[in-house]
């Protein structure tokens, strides 16, 4: 068995015409990937695809992945949570070894990752895709206990169900408050898509109710598109309170379901508090996060600017002009996998181009997008001027319907590539 | 037994798409919307195995505004004609 595997590895290396001295000795390099979301699962699978001889271990404690994109549809009863859930079976079948444990430490000197059960996984290169941590130290009153009463639902799963059941059991005439954070945070258009779909649900199911966004910002992603659509679709069901209108929430009182601003105390029927975020704790422990709480990386290889041989991708990383989205995470993962495979051969990765596409639904048949094309410029990923931007402000309704269909196609395609 | 395993494994290696590391800049992002597998139900057309000139012409027309799109017009503007042709050739060459 061992012999046949070795012969297979030799044969595959020869087939790929790659000089792989490690293969000839029967042992490929070790790459550990931390985090099985869009970034990490994509990277693990893409790296195995780049070079089957690399031994790829994906560290992920959860049995199933619950996707955030489209999870606002669960809140509005347009989708079931199980449509958001995916297993790692196909990732394993692609040759990736799964370590179903949390990563508890990274030793950058010894180049190994410690798991919750004490196992140490050695690596030649480490790819960290740990996602975000919802901060319980940034908004006074908002801690882990408050998150049960005022769910953030910014990590999909139990939190999504909590918020859904609060909205579903709300009597008609209630007010749903969404607290939106300052930049940067996961999925910049997300709070506004969420408000839109909740307004859609209220308009059709609980028409005496409304949703109010209390915002720590004066501007947001796809703003004019959202605001035009709100005026058209939800004039009585959705209100946005900007920073300069007193929208910034300074503290919360979970026992009273109250949100405190400079001017007033808002008593919510349902409160959805999306607090400030930072890279997940393992990134802070590994030393790849800077004082901002996020991880600076090289824009060609996504190798950490702070610790060598560790690459950071997805929401945890500072990617210049590229937003924290699932599409971005997947695109970065493929570029990172290619760069890691190239570096392991002792070669220099080529300069990449990256694309981001973000679909938002304002209603089930009303989609809008923002896109961008990026290239490394002065040490960060910068927008390529003249490319990208949002859906045309004056596009006919037929285009909005088409973009809603493409949004669904996008979700199936992306989840198919990563988990299917 | 072993031979069959090796042949099957090689077929998987050679028959599926080539490594991203060997592809032109930008190509890795396309599969976020253009499904590599025909099993995915989506209105977005596949790129793998299509005629090179068809892909390149569509992208160049999106870029110039000659062809209307919902989003490809905005994305195509991020690439030179040369980069577009390289990406088109890459996808055309895949089975």
SS3 A171: coil
Q: Options 3.30.310.50, 3.50.50.60, 1.10.600.10, 1.10.510.10; which CATH number does A2-61+100-131+280-351 get?
A: 3.50.50.60
Residue B18 has a pLDDT of 75
Please compute the mean of the pLDDT values over residues A190-205 and round it to a whole number.
98
A8 vs A187 pLDDT, higher one: A187
Kindly list the residues from chain A whose CB atom is less than 8 angstroms away from the CB atom of residue B15: none
Compute the half-sphere exposure of residue A162: CA atoms within 13 Å on the CB side of its CA: 18
What is the sign, positive or negative, of the torsion defined by CA atoms of A234, A237, A241, A245?
positive
pLDDT of residue A26: 53
pLDDT for the residue B11 = 36
**Whole-number pLDDT of residue B29:** 96
Q: Which CATH superfamily is domain A134-277+358-415 in?
A: FAD/NAD(P)-binding domain (3.50.50.60)
Per-chain mean pLDDT for chain A: 94
pLDDT in tens, A93-152: 999 999 999 999 999 999 999 999 999 999 999 999 999 999 999 999 999 999 999 999
Q: Where in chain A is the domain with CATH 3.50.50.60?
A: 2-61+100-131+280-351, 134-277+358-415
Long-range contacts at B76-82 (CB < 8 A, ≥ 24 apart): B76/A387, B77/A373, B77/A384, B77/A386, B77/A387, B77/A388, B78/A353, B78/A355, B78/A372, B78/A373, B78/A384, B78/A386, B78/A387, B78/A388, B78/B26, B79/A353, B79/A373, B79/A387, B79/B26, B81/B56
What is the three-class DSSP state of B73? Answer: helix
Higher-pLDDT residue of A244, B2: A244
Q: What pLDDT does A27 receive?
A: 79
Q: What's the rounded mean pLDDT across residues A23-29?
A: 64
A51-109 pLDDT, tens digit each: 999 999 999 999 999 999 999 999 999 999 999 999 999 999 999 999 999 999 999 99
Q: What percent of chain A has pLDDT over 70?
A: 94
> Which residues of chain A are within 8 Å of residue B29 when distances are taken between CB atoms?
331, 334, 353-355
Quote the pTM value. 0.92
A191-205, A309-323, B27-41: the lowest-pLDDT one:
B27-41
A389/chain B closest Cα distance in angstroms: 7
If pLDDT is split at 50, 70 and 90, which confidence band does A20 have?
very low
CB contact under 8 A, A338 and B83: no
* pLDDT (tens digit per residue) in A216-238: 999 999 999 999 999 999 999 99
* B68 has a chain A CB within 8 A of its CB: no
**Per-residue buried b or exposed e for A219-231, using 16+ beta carbons within 10 Å of the residue's own CB:** ebbbbebbeebbe
A184: cis peptide before it, omega within 30°? yes
CA A14 to chain CA centroid, Å, is 37
B51: contact with A, CB 8 A cutoff: no
In the CATH scheme, what is the code of domain B19-92?
1.10.760.10
Q: What is the pLDDT of residue A386?
A: 97
Cβ of B75 within 8 Å of Cβ of A46? The answer is no
pLDDT for residue A10: 45
From chain B, the residues in CB contact with A365 under 8 A are: none
d(CA A97, CA A92) in angstroms, rounded, equals 6
Q: What is the pLDDT of residue A22?
A: 42
At A80 the pLDDT is 98
Cβ of B65 under 8 Å from any chain A Cβ? Answer: no
Nearest to A277 by CA among A324, A242, A346: A324
Please list the ranges in chain B whose pLDDT falls under 70: 1-17
Nearest CA in chain B to A408: B42
Q: Classify strands A258-261 and A265-267 as parallel, antiparallel or unpaired.
A: antiparallel
* Residue A13 in this model has a pLDDT that exceeds 80: no
pLDDT band, residue A191 (cuts 50/70/90): very high
Task: Answer yes or no: is pLDDT of A381 > 70.
Answer: yes
Instruction: Answer whether A21's CB lies under 8 Å from A9's CB.
Output: no
The ranges assigned to domains in chain B are 19-92
Q: Do A46 and B20 touch (CB under 8 A)?
A: yes
Q: B23 in helix, strand or coil?
A: coil
């Amino acid at each position: 068995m061992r012999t046949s595997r070795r012969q297979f590895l030799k044969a595959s290396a020869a087939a790929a015409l790659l000089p792989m001295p490690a293969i000839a000795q029967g042992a490929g390099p070790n790459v550990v990937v931390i985090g099985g979301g869009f970034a990490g699962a994509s990277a693990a699978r893409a790296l195995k695809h780049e070079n089957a001889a690399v031994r790829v271990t994906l560290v992920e404690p959860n049995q199933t992945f619950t996707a955030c994109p489209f999870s606002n549809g669960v809140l509005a009863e347009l989708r079931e949570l199980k449509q958001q859930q995916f297993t790692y079976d196909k990732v394993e079948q692609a040759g990736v070894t799964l370590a179903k444990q949390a990563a508890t430490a990274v030793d950058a000197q010894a180049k190994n990752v410690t798991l919750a059960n004490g196992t140490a996984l050695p690596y030649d290169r480490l790819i960290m895709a740990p996602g975000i941590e919802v901060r319980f130290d940034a908004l006074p009153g908002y801690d882990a206990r408050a998150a049960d009463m005022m769910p953030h639902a910014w990590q999909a799963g139990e939190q999504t169900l909590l918020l859904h059941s609060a909205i579903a059991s709300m009597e008609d005439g209630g007010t749903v408050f969404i607290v939106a954070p300052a930049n940067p945070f996961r999925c910049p258009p997300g709070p506004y898509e969420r408000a839109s779909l909740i307004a859609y649900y209220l308009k059709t199911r609980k028409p005496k109710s409304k949703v109010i966004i209390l915002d720590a910002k004066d501007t947001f992603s796809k703003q004019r598109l959202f605001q035009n659509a709100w005026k058209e679709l939800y004039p009585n069901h959705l209100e946005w309170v900007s920073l300069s209108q007193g929208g910034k929430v300074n503290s919360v009182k979970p026992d009273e379901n109250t949100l405190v601003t400079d001017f007033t105390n808002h008593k919510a029927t349902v409160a959805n508090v999306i607090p400030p975020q930072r890279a997940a704790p393992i990134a802070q422990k590994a030393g790849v996060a800077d004082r901002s709480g996020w991880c600076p990386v090289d824009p060609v290889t996504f190798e950490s600017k702070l610790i060598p041989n560790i690459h950071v991708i997805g929401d945890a990383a500072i990617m210049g002009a590229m937003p924290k989205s699932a599409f971005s995470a997947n695109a970065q993962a493929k570029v990172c996998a290619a760069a890691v495979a190239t570096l392991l051969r002792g070669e220099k990765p080529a300069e990449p181009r990256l694309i981001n596409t973000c679909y938002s639904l304002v209603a089930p048949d009303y989609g809008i997008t923002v896109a961008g094309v990026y290239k490394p410029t002065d040490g960060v990923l910068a927008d390529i001027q003249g490319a990208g931007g949002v859906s045309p402000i004056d596009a006919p309704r037929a285009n909005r319907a088409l973009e809603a269909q493409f949004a669904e196609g996008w979700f199936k395609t992306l989840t198919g590539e990563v988990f299917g | 037994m072993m031979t069959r395993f090796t042949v099957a494994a090689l077929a998987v290696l050679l028959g599926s798409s080539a490594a991203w590391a060997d592809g032109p800049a930008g190509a890795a992002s396309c599969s976020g919307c253009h499904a590599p597998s025909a099993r995915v139900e989506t209105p977005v057309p596949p790129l793998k195995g299509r005629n090179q000139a068809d892909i390149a012409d569509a992208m160049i027309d999106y870029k110039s505004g000659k062809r209307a799109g919902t989003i490809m017009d905005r994305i195509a503007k991020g690439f030179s004609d040369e980069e577009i042709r390289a990406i088109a050739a890459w996808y055309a060459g895949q089975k």
